[in-house]
């Protein structure tokens, strides 16, 4: 069973973007493994609370990311 787990900052993507992640990830697995993968592919999109993640030892927030854009 192919499995993918995406972690995104809470509130940064909407339902339509989550749908795209699920659909495109499923299509990628189908491209690699063939149609037999479609019915068993599991894709999770988890929203991580603001400040609940970090890079390089630094805790990050959505506001910090917005200021870097």
- Residue 69: is its pLDDT beyond 60? no
Q: What number of CA atoms fall less than 13 Å from residue 40's CA on the CB side? A: 7
pLDDT at 19: 98
pLDDT at 68: 61
- Residue 57: is its pLDDT beyond 70? yes
Burial (Cβ within 10 Å: 0-12, 13-18, ≥19) of residue 47:
middle
18 Cβ neighbours under 8 A, 6+ residues apart: 45
Domains (range + CATH), the chain: 3-68 (3.30.429.10)
Q: What's phi and psi for 50, nearest 5 deg?
A: -55, 130
- Residue numbers annotated as active site: 2
């Amino acid at each position: 069973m192919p499995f993918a787990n995406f972690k995104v900052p809470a509130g940064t993507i909407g339902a339509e973007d989550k749908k795209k992640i699920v659909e495109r990830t499923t299509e990628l697995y189908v491209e690699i493994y063939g149609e037999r993968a479609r019915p068993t592919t599991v894709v999770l999109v988890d929203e991580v609370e603001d400040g609940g993640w970090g890079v390089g030892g630094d805790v990050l927030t959505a506001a910090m990311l917005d200021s870097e854009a």
